[in-house]
Amino acid sequence: MLAGIAANVVLALAKILGGILGRSQALIADGIESSLDILSSAMMWGAIKYAERPPDSDHPYGHGKMESLAAVAGSLILILAGLSLGIHSVGEIIRLLRDPGADNVPALFTLAILAVTILTKEVLFRWLDHHGKRIGSMAVQVDALHHRSDALTSLAAGIGISAALIGGPAWAAADDWAALFSCGLIVFNGFQMLRGSMGDILDEQISPEKMEEILAAAREVPGVSSIEKCRVRKSGFVFLADLHVRVPGANTVSAGHLIAHQVKDRLRASEFQLSDVTVHIEPE
C-alpha cells in the first residue's frame, strides 16, 4: 500500500500539472482522482494497522471494523469527488459547444503522461491483487481494484485527448466527454466500494458457496448429526462464526462438549480464516 501511495503522489502531481499546461480537463480529472487515491490508501493503511490490534477488555471482538469504516469514508469521498468533477465537465462541454477554439485542444505530451500512468497503475494492480489474495486481505484487494479503475479512467482520457488532437477544435469537447466518462466510472466504483463496506459493517452473511464449505467441514466431525444454524460475519481480515450443531440426544453433556470443541478446532484450523467459532449443541 505504501508503494501505491508513493506512486499516486508522483502521478497525481504529473497529471494535474500536465493537464493544466496541456489544456486537458480529462487529465486534470484523472489527476484529482489519483489525489483522492492518496487519501483513500492512507486511510486504508491506517485502518489496517488499527484493525490488526488484538482484542482487549473494551473490544472483545477485536478492532476489525475500523477497516470497513475507513472504506466507507473513502467511498463517500470518491463519490462526491466524481459528482463534482462530472458537473464541471458538463459545464466545459456546454462552453466548448458554444465557443470551440484551437486553444482548447489538449497538447500532445498529455498522451505520454497517460501512457506512463496506465502502465504504472496496471503493474500496481497486479502486484497488490496478488499480495492481497496471498495474505487474505480484502482491503488490499479493494485498493488493487482502485488502481485498475485508475488505469481505465486514464485510458478513457487518452481516447478523448486523441480524438481532440485528430479532429482539431471541432472535437475539442471529446476531452471533456472523456472526463465525464471517467467521472461516471469514479462514481460507479465508489458505490460498489460503499456497498461492500456497508455489508461488512452490517454483518452481511458470507456467500452461499463459502457457507456450504464451512457446513461440510463441520459435518465431517465425528458425532455431528446435522447443522441446525450457521452464521458467519466478517471482522477486518478474519471471520467470526456461530453454529448450532445437532448431536444424538442420548449423549452426555461431556460428550456434547467434546464434539463442540472438535468442531471449533476443525474450523479454526481450516483455510476459512475463522478467528473464533462459537458452537451451540442441540439434541437431534
176/174 Cα distance (integer angstroms): 5
Report the pLDDT value the prediction gives residue 1, as an integer from 0 to 100: 64
Q: Which residue has the cell 440426544?
A: 249
Residue 91 CB neighbour total at 10 angstroms: 12
Please give the helix or strand (H or E) that residue 270 lies within, else none: none
Q: Sign (positive/negative) of CA torsion 152, 179, 104, 22?
A: negative
Q: Where are the domains of the chain?
A: 2-201, 208-283
Tell me the pairing of strands 238-247 and 274-283: parallel
Calculate the CA 11 to chain-centre distance: 20
Report the pLDDT value the prediction gives residue 246, as an integer from 0 to 100: 92
| CATH of the structural domain 2-201, one choice from 3.40.309.10, 1.10.357.10, 3.40.50.620, 1.20.1510.10 | 1.20.1510.10
Which residue(s) pair with 215 in the sheet?
A: none
Q: Which residue has the cell 449443541?
A: 281
**Is 1 exposed, middle or buried (CB count within 10 Å of its CB: 0-12, 13-18, 19+)?**
buried
φ and ψ at 106, to 5 degrees?
-60, 155
Contact 245, 279 (CB under 8 A): yes
Would you state the CATH architecture of domain 208-283? Answer: 2-Layer Sandwich (3.30)
Q: Which residue has the cell 453454529?
A: 243
DSSP 50-105: HHTSPP-SS-TT-STHHHHHHHHHHHHHHHHHHHHHHHHHHHHHHHHHHS--GGGS
Report the pLDDT value the prediction gives residue 17, as an integer from 0 to 100: 85
Which of 8, 196, 192 lies closest to 117 in space, CA to CA? 8
pTM, 2 dp: 0.67
The three cell numbers of residue 8 are 499516486
Calculate the CA 20 to chain-centre distance: 30
187/124 Cα distance (integer angstroms): 21
Segment 202-207 long-range contacts (CB within 8 Å, at least 24 positions apart):
203/233, 203/234, 204/233, 204/234, 205/231, 205/232, 205/233, 206/232, 206/233, 206/234, 206/239
Report the pLDDT value the prediction gives residue 280, as an integer from 0 to 100: 92
Report the pLDDT value the prediction gives residue 150, as an integer from 0 to 100: 75
Report the pLDDT value the prediction gives residue 100, as an integer from 0 to 100: 62
Report the pLDDT value the prediction gives residue 242, as an integer from 0 to 100: 92
Q: Sign (positive/negative) of CA torsion 45, 50, 53, 55?
A: negative
* pLDDT under 70: residue ranges of the chain: 1-4, 25-26, 33, 100-105, 135-139, 168-169, 172, 175
Which of 251, 24, 16, 44 lies closest to 128 in space, CA to CA? 44
Which of 274, 219, 270, 220 lies closest to 242 in space, CA to CA? 274
Report the pLDDT value the prediction gives residue 70, as an integer from 0 to 100: 77
